[in-house]
Amino acid sequence: MGASCDWSRERFTMDEGLSEAVRKVFVQLYEEGLIYRGSYIINWCPRCHTALADLEVEHEELDGNLYHIRYPFPDGSGGIVVATTRPETMLGDTAVAVNPDDERYQNIGTDQVLLPLVNKFIPIIKDKYVDAAFGTGALKVTPAHDPNDFEIAERHNLPSVKVIGNDGKMTSEAGEFEGLDRFECRKAVVAALKKEGFLEKIDPYRHSVGHCYRCKTIVEPNLSRQWFVKVKPLAEKAIVAVKNGKTRIIPEMWNNTYFDWMNNIKDWCISRQIWWGHQIPAWTCTACQTVTAAMETPEKCPHCGENELVQETDVLDTWFSSALWPFSTMGWPDDTKLLNLFYPTSVLVTGFDILFFWVARMMMMGIHFMGNVPFRDVYVHALVRDEEGKKMSKSKGNVIDPLNIIEKYGTDAFRFTLAAFAAQGRDIKMSEKRVEGYRHFVNKLWNAARFSLMHLDEGYAKIASDNLSLPDRWILSRLKRLTDNVSETLDSYRFNDTAAALYKFVWHEFCDWYLEAVKPILYGKKGEESRKATQSVLWHVLRNTIILLHPFMPFVTEEIWHKMPGTEGSIMVAAFPSDDFCDPKIVLDPKAESEMELIMEIITGFRNIRGEMNIAPSLALAASVQSQDEKTRATIQQNSDLITTLAGLKAFSVEQPGERPKAVATAVINGATIFASLEGIIDFTKETERLDREIKKLTSEISGVLKKLNNDDFLNKAPEEVVLKVREKYESLVEKQQKLELNLEKIKEIEA
């Protein structure tokens, strides 16, 4: 929002400087023992031919089967039944595990079973990991193709047999099944087991299956040699930084997600077997097998002195270099001015789906290498979903192309819609109807500006101090409130509140009331002095309004800015209206607000009567207002022209309460009763119905208020100002009701 990007600083992680940062980080972490290489079970994508970090695996629930396979005892009898969703992996089994407390397997007289098809003996081991309540309580152990089995195998020193190769095809260890694709092999193994009588049964079974986040291929847990970052020590500091508020996550609800992931973090597999990326700066000496990590290619092996060094061919996970972004982009590892000026950065804006991939890792690396957090605030924005609330994805085909929306409704309308939708902590269900609504708003602003500019032929350095009309003083006060509101809601990332405030001000205050109210003045009907005064107000209000709107509607506001007299340069660099820049006349003016409120209520009262009595707007009415209060009468009198114009009256008088005029429709507002003369056109039945409706409404409101006032507990325990407020409300409601009832009686008299 409102950011002005310096595109000359655009960077790419493969740039020279950033590559140096990557090397530096790798070497340092390696020397600190936080990067290591080893043979572990990792997620492998057989299509991309590369290792994947845990994060890069997407799990999805799929319908599968649970195959129950009997592993006979050495003498060929009975045996132990195991259950698996992946029967092809049995070829790589090196044990069967049971829970040590499981009585079923206490005295079975053997510690081995025969692995069918492979025809070799494998041990029965006891491990607490096994859940005795699941299936038969016996678990087949395939260390090379299952992460849990791998851990069990480590505990029991079991060998690993890799039966599925990196290409997803069966290896020579799979014997007769060699060369088969892993899924073809599943069918073949099942058929063979069935034929030889080892398949007990097949149950349908729904379970979650990991897929490669790039190509959606089913991931194969695979044993291979990879590079890892020991993240635990890094994560601990990143947790503390959020706990003690050095970095704030907004909205706060994401804290839990962040902590949860950080607390359960596992080592990060950073090596990738793809052709692009930062090549790992590590060399293996073919003579002594020692590994050396270095910034520059070593001349010879620092251990044995031979120059038979071979660089690691693997490259680094792209997120490894991305994690350095907040400081690598500003010249690190050099100590630059940029770093000193801008690190830590003020705010990172991002989607929740990137919280782990990127934010968490930037936190860890920033704290470790810069000694400080990379950003003060992390604003997690909403995700735009489709109309049914589903996450957009190319494979689902439910992607809404922003360019299409922009083509149809315009950039400003689209942008404003997104802001208006961006309530904290909630995702956005994209609705074209909403965009259309805000396009109308853009249009409204444009027309309002067009009208304003018709009446502005110069810039006004200052707002006139004399001759201001009530609407002038009112709109200035409203502008002040708006300005404060916009500043506050932007500071607290409540963009939807900002959008709503701007919308309401522009449409329902500036356009609906102010512009209509000052038209006579602008047309010169109140003299040149008044016209000048109002023009100065109009100029400032329009100017400040479009500046406030600019971050939300950059194009229209820029266009208006250039058409406006007395502006310079681009609105992009105009000072944002705040206390410092405001004209001293732009202040809160509660008196003007309450006076204008009174006038608006009177006008609405007349319009209401007109609407409900079906009186054509072209028919001007004679009308009057009665009020007990002298000040009220004075205010109304001073603004009688305004009322006459906006309510469509031909005659208007202000009086003390007295005789009720004949043949009138009535409405009661705070402190005053208004009468619209309907001589000759009044429909008494209609008017009676109208008043009845109003009285009924008041009756129910009064009963609600009365409930409180009759409650001693409320009177005693509620704060004084609340009680006072309720009392005042009660009094004004009763007054209104009494006046309406009086009028109703009069009508009934006339009718009779």
Task: Write out the binding residues for RNA, residues 519-558 only, by CB under 7 A.
Answer: 519
For RNA, the binding residue among 261, 576, 684, 730 (CB under 7 A) is 261
- The site for RNA, by CB under 7 A, has a size of 93
Complete DSSP assignment for 353-367: GGIIIIIIHHHHHHH
Q: In 329-338, which positions are buried (b, 16+ CB within 10 angstroms) versus exposed (e)?
A: bbbbbeeeee
248 close to 380: Cβ distance less than 8 angstroms: no
Q: Measured from the CB atom, is 153 or 309 closer to RNA?
A: 153
Complete DSSP assignment for 496-556: HHHHHHHHIIIIIIIIIIIIHHHHHHHTTTT-HHHHHHHHHHHHHHHHHHHHHHTTTSHHH
Task: Write out the binding residues for RNA, residues 383-402 only, by CB under 7 A.
Answer: 389-391
Distance of alpha carbon 258 from the chain centroid: 16
For RNA, the binding residue among 302, 425, 565, 657 (CB under 7 A) is 425
SS3 320: helix
Q: Is residue 491 part of the contact set for RNA (CB under 7 A)?
A: no
Per-residue x/- mask for RNA, residues 626 to 655, rule CB under 7 A? ------------------------------
Per-residue x/- mask for RNA, residues 51 to 80, rule CB under 7 A? ---xx--xx-x----x--------------
Q: Which stretch binds RNA (CB under 7 A): 15-23, 84-92, 397-405, 536-544?
A: 84-92
Give least dist CB 90 to RNA, A.
10
For RNA, the binding residue among 167, 353, 579, 692 (CB under 7 A) is 353
Q: What are residue 139's DSSP bridge partners? A: 97
For RNA, the binding residue among 24, 162, 429, 746 (CB under 7 A) is 429
Give least dist CB 66 to RNA, A.
7
Q: Where are the beta strands (DSSP E) in 145-219?
A: 199-212
Per-residue x/- mask for RNA, residues 693 to 732, rule CB under 7 A? x--------------x--x-xx--xxx--x--x-------
For RNA, the binding residue among 166, 224, 336, 608 (CB under 7 A) is 608
For RNA, the binding residue among 270, 448, 654, 668 (CB under 7 A) is 448
Q: Where are the beta strands (DSSP E) in 213-260?
A: 220-229, 248-250
Q: Measured from the CB atom, is 447 or 570 closer to RNA?
A: 447
For RNA, the binding residue among 107, 340, 395, 618 (CB under 7 A) is 618
* Alpha-carbon distances, residue 202 vs 114, 186, 189, 198, 707 (angstroms): 21, 13, 13, 12, 68
Q: Measured from the CB atom, is 367 or 517 closer to RNA?
A: 517
428 close to 421: Cβ distance less than 8 angstroms: yes
* Maximum Cα–Cα distance across the chain: 121
Strand arrangement of the beta sheet that strand 345-351 belongs to = 248-250, 375-381, 345-351
Amino acid at 271: S
Give least dist CB 189 to RNA, A.
14
Give least dist CB 465 to RNA, A.
26
Q: Is residue 423 part of the contact set for RNA (CB under 7 A)?
A: yes
Task: Write out the binding residues for RNA, residues 495-514 only, by CB under 7 A.
Answer: 496-497, 500, 503, 507-508, 511-512
449 close to 545: Cβ distance less than 8 angstroms: no
Q: Which stretch binds RNA (CB under 7 A): 5-13, 258-266, 332-340, 572-580?
A: 258-266
Task: Write out the binding residues for RNA, residues 548-607 only, by CB under 7 A.
Answer: 604, 607
Q: Mention every residue, 6+ apart, whose C-beta is less than 8 A from residue 613.
A: 665, 678, 682, 683, 686, 687, 690
For RNA, the binding residue among 257, 279, 284, 411 (CB under 7 A) is 257
Per-residue x/- mask for RNA, residues 655 to 694, rule CB under 7 A? --------------------------------------x-
Q: Measured from the CB atom, is 449 or 586 closer to RNA?
A: 449
Q: Is residue 9 part of the contact set for RNA (CB under 7 A)?
A: no
Q: Is residue 411 part of the contact set for RNA (CB under 7 A)?
A: no
The closest of 136, 183, 140 to 164, measured between CA atoms, is: 183
Q: Is residue 450 part of the contact set for RNA (CB under 7 A)?
A: yes
Q: Which residue has the tokens 């073809």?
A: 184
55 close to 110: Cβ distance less than 8 angstroms: no
Q: Measured from the CB atom, is 489 or 627 closer to RNA?
A: 489
Q: Which stretch binds RNA (CB under 7 A): 306-314, 397-405, 556-564, 615-623?
A: 615-623
C-alpha span between 568 and 175 (Å, rounded): 81
C-alpha span between 473 and 541 (Å, rounded): 11
